[in-house]
Amino acid sequence: MQAAVVEAFGAPLVMREWPVPTPTAGQIVVRTEACGVCHTDLHAAHGDWPVRPALPFIPGHEGIGLVTAVGAGVTLVREGDRVGVPWLYSACGHCEYCLSAWETVCAEARFGGYTQHGGFAEYILADPRYVAHVPSGLTATAAAPIICAGITTYKGIKETTARPGEWLAVSGVGGLGHLAVQYGKAMGLQVCAVDVDAGKLAHALRLGADAVVNAAETDDTAAAVVTATDGGAHGVLITAPSLDAFAQGIAMTRRRGTCVLVGLPPGEFPVPLFDVVARCLTIRGSFVGTRQDMAEALDFAASGAVVADVELQPLTAINDVLTRLAHGQVASRVVLDFAASQGA
């Protein structure tokens, strides 16, 4: 099969032949129909994070496809089912986190397109206990961004604990953020979108944002958000892969509000201790979402309340797509479309 492979960190991916996986007991093989390209794939290919994937590896954790083979003992899915192979590739199933439906922080969790080969390939080996079940009526290309960008922002908004009618500020309205705006509105929140790109903010308004702030054109972005949200956002969701956005995010959080960190640029940012203490802020990390969050996030999409904006590209365009993503030149989400090359 054709796969786009990271052979060296920071180097272009290499298109090459790779063996089609065969499932052993408890595994399935999925024939990829579509796979979204997440900014995380860029971090993975650059080796940005403290724990790096083993080389060579196939990125991609928004892969959707049809099950073509099932190993012995698999009962949860059948051949022909449409499933997604997400970032949370598998977990142990029996630790305190798995038992309390926090499988995302299981110490034995494995990650699609990172510790396990992902969806930038014509077939994906998967664990049927952790795949996303794509509702009928949702196409593969429409579902792809939901299984990372969608679930991550949906869960992150829940983690802000903002209630209907309250303000949510979304910093970064790219692949994740354009869905966050829609989930926020669907969850009854008022949404203030923040980005450095005027086109993305215009799009956020079209998607229902109640206010926008351009961080590239504002001396004090946080102050502008505090004004727009009448005293600060009850919930802040930072998806921007920029450290500047994190310090701003804390300053735009309303007293007693919650600032949820989701973006993962490499590095650290200073936390203004006095402000956090005196304004009783909560700062919380959030990492994708559980299988239940996945089902809920997909239901929003199946109902039409949330629609991913996708630009389709062939797998062979991956290096160009990653370069554009690094420079903020992807409008919302690029989805690799395998249908053409497979004649499906």
Residues that bind Zn ion (CB under 5 A): 38, 40, 91-92, 95, 98, 106, 148
**Choosing among Zn ion, ligand NAD, none, which partner's interface includes residue 98 (Cβ < 5 to 8 Å by kind)?**
Zn ion
CB of 57 to ligand NAD, least distance (A): 16
Residue list 109-148, contact with ligand NAD (CB under 6 A): 148
Cα–Cα nearest to 207, from 217, 195, 215: 195
Q: Quote the strand ranges of 18-166, DSSP E.
A: 28-37, 63-70, 82-85, 88-90, 110-111, 123-126, 132-133
CA distance 149 to 308: 9
Is 196 a binder of ligand NAD (CB under 6 A)?
A: yes
Taking Cα atoms as reference points, which of 158, 142, 163 lies closest to residue 310? 142
Q: Which stretch binds ligand NAD (CB under 6 A): 1-9, 117-125, 235-243, 275-283?
A: 235-243
For Zn ion, give the closer residue by CB, 70 or 294: 294
**Of 35-43, 69-77, 88-96, 224-232, which part binds ligand NAD (CB under 6 A)?**
35-43
Among positions 239, 253, 258, 290, the unique one binding ligand NAD when judged by CB under 6 A: 239
**Cβ-based neighbours of 220, under 8 Å, separated by 6 or more:** none
Task: Tell me the three state secondary structure of residue 199.
Answer: helix
CB of 178 to ligand NAD, least distance (A): 8
How many CB atoms are closer than 10 A to CB 210? 18
Are 170 and 203 contacting, i.e. CB atoms less than 8 angstroms apart? no
Counting residues that bind ligand NAD (by CB under 6 A) gives 35
Decide if 193 contacts 184 (C-beta within 8 A). no
Using the rule CB under 6 A, which residue among 23, 65, 174, 235 binds ligand NAD?
Answer: 174
Contact between 330 and ligand NAD (CB under 6 A)?
A: yes
Shortest Å distance, C-beta 44 to ligand NAD:
9
Q: What's the CA gap between 175 and 311, in Å, rounded?
A: 11
Q: Enumerate residues 300-329 that contact ligand NAD by CB under 6 A.
A: 325, 328
Nearer to Zn ion, 27 or 153 (CB): 153
Residue 265 Cβ vs ligand NAD, minimum distance, rounded to whole Å: 6
Distance of alpha carbon 257 from alpha carbon 274, whole angstroms: 15
SS3 173: coil
Per CB under 6 A, residues contacting ligand NAD are: 38-40, 43, 148, 152, 171-177, 194-197, 200, 215, 239-242, 244-245, 262-265, 286-288, 325, 328, 330
